Amino acid sequence: MTDDQNAPARAHWGGVFAMTLCVFALIASEFMPVSLLTPLAADLQVSEGLAGYGIAISGAFAVLTSLSIARLAGRLDRRTVLLLLTALMAVSGVVVATAHSYAVYMAGRALIGVVVGGFWSLSAATAMRLVPPSQVPRALAIFNGGNALATVVAAPLGSYLGGIIGWRGAFLCLLPVAALAFAWQWASLPRMPARAAAAPGNVLALLRRRRVRWGMVACGAFFMGQFALFTYVRPFLESVTHAGATALSMVLLAIGVSGFIGTVLVGRALARGLYRTLVGIPMLMAAIALLLVPFGTQLWPVAALLSVWGLLATAAPVGWWSWLADTFKDDAEAGGGLMVAVVQCSIAVGSTLGGALYDHGGHGSTFTASAGVLGLAAVLAWRTAAGQRPLAPRVTRSQSEPTWTHQPEASTQEPTP
């Protein structure tokens, strides 16, 4: 039985907003070390590079968890699973904040990776069970709004709190937010009994579907192209645009604020056409990446271009999660796990590729490569859309031979092999 058939009769918006608060705390927890790396490394007596591995290990555990969450959760009510993940987020914060050795710090960061992988893998399936099908894109946009807001405030807030109460105190400040998210979810999430248990290997078996293969490759190419450029925005602004400290902060803030606006507006674009949005966004971002090369030394054009980039880049994941909800109506949890794994791996590959190009060829080669990968993502998204409508013969009166035309399927769901 599909999730459409089990869709709720009424929307549980309280649960949606409770999960959004949890997303905010989760993303803030995941990226808090970025702004606290120097004092954290000094206190633990390790290099900043080793301290930075705390972000890498969270990504690695997110991938492992995303591929196995459906089996790990088993027959547990998904409300219980989400509450356990929220509690684990709080435990991670306590472990990191009280760590007096590098090994304990890394263990705490591994725990937050488990939460990231599990929570995002279940997010689309949960949205489909909290609101009617027509409102799923809106619910996913609200989830990503929490993501965008955390991206805006996490780094500057972490830096500010770290200067006042130390890096440990900054991590502990997230505990009240996690506690509030736990209490709100406890009060507002309905019971969500588990669906049929996922078979071993079920996540990777989804790739047998042609539509899934094209979509996952397109999604991976998008995130790879995005983070090949975005990871190196700060050094680009400092060394090419020569933005001062104030200008740098304002540009980064503009990127975050426009990203939050993008999550609010993207629902309208998705209502007009899911695939039109998935194709159009990477095309526009590729154009921006190319324009940043000749205009890189001019602050105001760069600020404007990066603001539009932020709006598009933050809106795009909403489109891909909406695609997931439409594609995996029969197994949204396994599909969510697969997408989280693809996204995390693509971010790692994209940032690594961008860094190698930036070191050897400067921002021009990095931004051009990003544009190329984003252009490829647009083509792959178009190919994914084309896979929606198989060729079917149609015989007309004036023709003796059948004319092949694109006929819409009765359902967008492909049969599982």
241-252 pLDDT, tens per residue? Answer: 998 878 887 888
**How much is the pLDDT for 35?**
65
What's the mean pLDDT in 140-159? 77
* Residue 400, pLDDT above cutoff 50: no
Per the CB < 8 A criterion, the answer to whether 186 and 71 are in contact is no
3-state secondary structure of 267: helix
| Full set of structural domains in the chain with CATH | 1-195 (1.20.1250.20), 198-388+405-417 (1.20.1250.20)
What's the mean pLDDT in 29-44? 79
**How much is the pLDDT for 204?**
67
What's the mean pLDDT in 179-190? 94
Pairing mode of beta strands 391-394, 403-406: antiparallel
Q: Is the pTM of this model over 0.85?
A: no
- Find, among 34, 28, 39, 31, the residue nearest to 167 by Cα: 39
State pLDDT tens for residues 316-373.
Answer: 888 898 888 888 777 777 788 888 888 888 888 888 888 888 888 888 999 999 999 9
**What single DSSP character describes residue 206?**
G
What residues contact 360, with CB distance under 8 A and at least 6 apart? none
d(CA 336, CA 28): 21
What's the mean pLDDT in 25-51? 80
Distance of CA 182 to CAs 103, 221, 259, 299, 304, Å?
Answer: 28, 35, 26, 43, 38
State pLDDT tens for residues 251-291.
Answer: 888 888 888 888 888 878 887 888 999 999 999 999 999 99
d(CA 265, CA 261): 6
Q: List b or e across 299-324, with b for residues whose CB sees 16 or more CB atoms inside 10 angstroms.
A: beebbbbbbbbbbbbbbbbbbbbbbb
Tokens 């400067």 belong to which residue? 362
* Residue 90, pLDDT above cutoff 70: yes
206 burial type by CB count under 10 A (0-12 exposed, 13-18 middle, 19+ buried): buried
**How much is the pLDDT for 38?**
74
d(CA 240, CA 225): 20
Q: Which two tokens stand for residue 110?
A: 């591994």
Query: What pLDDT band is residue 202 in, cutting at 50, 70 and 90?
Result: low
* Residue 402, pLDDT above cutoff 50: no
Query: What pLDDT band is residue 178 in, cutting at 50, 70 and 90?
Result: very high
**What single DSSP character describes residue 391?**
E
